[in-house]
Amino acid sequence: MREIQFREALREAMSEEMRRDSSIFVMGEEVAEYNGAYKVSQGMLDEFGAERVIDTPIAELGFSGIGIGAAMNGLRPIIEFMTFNFSLVAIDQIINGAAKMMSMSGGQYSVPIVFRGPTGNAGMLGAQHSQNFENWYANTPGLKVAVPSNPYYAKGLLKSSIRDNDPVIFMESELMYGDKGEVPQEEYLIPLGKAYVVKEGKDVTLVSFGKMMKVAFAAAQEMEKQGVSVEVIDLCSVRPIDYATIVESVKKTNRLVVVEEAWPLAAISSEITYHVQRHAFDYLDAPVRRVNSMDLPLPYAPTLIEAILPNVKRTIEAINGVLYR
C-alpha cells in the first residue's frame, strides 16, 4: 500500500469530497494563495477556484460566523484555523451558534460544518500557541470532536466529518503534518465515535489519542521488552467516546492508564477514569492512572517543554504503578 503524508491525507479527503459535492468549500487564513499555512490545501485553489477555496482576513470570529450561516443555508463549509488557539476568538460562534442551532431551532436548522486545524504543543511557540482544547469542545452538547493519530485515520475521519450533518471539531497536530503512513487509494470512511484496539495485550490497557499515540506505542514497546503485554487503544474521537471498547479491554486486563496532552483538570482522561470506575470497578486490580501535561502554561524553553508534556518515561512509570502498586 502507498505511503503518504498526514497533510496529503487531509488534502485528499477534502478534495475527494469537494469533487463529490459542490456544496463543500474551504475557508480560512492562507488556505488559497499561500496553499495553506501547513500546505494542507496545496493545489486546491487551482482545482476548485476562488469561490470554493477562500482566503480570509485574520478574523476568526467573522469567518466562523459566515461559515455557520452558510451551513444553515445548505452549504457544507470546512473552516480552517491556523491553530486551534485562535479558535478562542471564534468560540462564541462555535458554542453559542453552531453547537446549539439544531436544538434552538427545534430541528429546523442543521449546521453541517467542520472546523479543523492544529492543536497542542508544536515546539517552541510559547504558552499562547501551545494549548489543547479537545476537552473544552468535547464538553459541549451539539459538537462532535475527532483527533486523528495517523494519515489513515486522518483521511477516513475527515471524510466522515465532512459528510456529517452536525458541526465537527477536527483537531490535528502541527508536529504530525509530515508524518507518513499507509493510506489506500480506494475510498473508505472511518466513523466518528469508534475507538480501535491497535495493539492487543493482556496485562494493562493503555488509552490515548492524537499525537500522544506515539508516546503510548513507544511505552508499550518498552514494556514488552520487560515481559509486560500492553493493550493499546486509539480513541480517534473524544465526542462521542467509545466507552464500550475501553470497558471491554479493562475487563480483560484489569488495569488502565490514560495518556493525554491536555491539562489534568476536567480532561478527557478524567471522564474515562470516571466511566471505567462506574462500569468496570469490580474488574480493576489497581486505581486508574493518568499521564497529562503538568498544570502549567507551556514554557518556551525546550528543556521545560520536555519536562511538562507527557512522555515515555512518565507513561512507563504509570504502567508500572498499576502493575506493582
Catalytic residues: 60, 129
- Helices (DSSP H) in the chain: which residue ranges? 6-20, 44-48, 60-72, 91-92, 101-104, 134-138, 151-163, 212-225, 243-253, 268-279, 302-308, 312-323
CA distance 183 to 153: 9
Strand partners, 117: 171
Phi, psi of 85 (to 5 degrees): -60, -35
Cα→Cα distances 226→203, 223, 278, Å: 12, 5, 31
Q: Which residues of 157-185 are buried (b: 16+ CB within 10 A; e: fewer)?
A: bbbbbbbbebbbbbbbbbebbebebebee
Alpha carbons 39 and 36: distance in angstroms, whole number: 4
C-alpha grid cell for residue 98? Answer: 453552531
Task: Answer positive or negative: Cα dihedral of 208, 209, 210, 213.
Answer: positive
Which candidate, 128, 134, 178, places its Cα nearest to that of 297?
128
DSSP class per residue in 33-54: TTS-TTSTTTTHHHHH-TTTEE
Sign of CA dihedral 32, 37, 43, 44: negative
Residues 6 or more apart in contact with residue 313 via CB below 8 angstroms: none
- Rounded Cα gap, residues 192 and 131, in angstroms: 23
What is the spatial distance between Cα 166 and Cα 24, in angstroms, rounded to a whole number?
A: 14
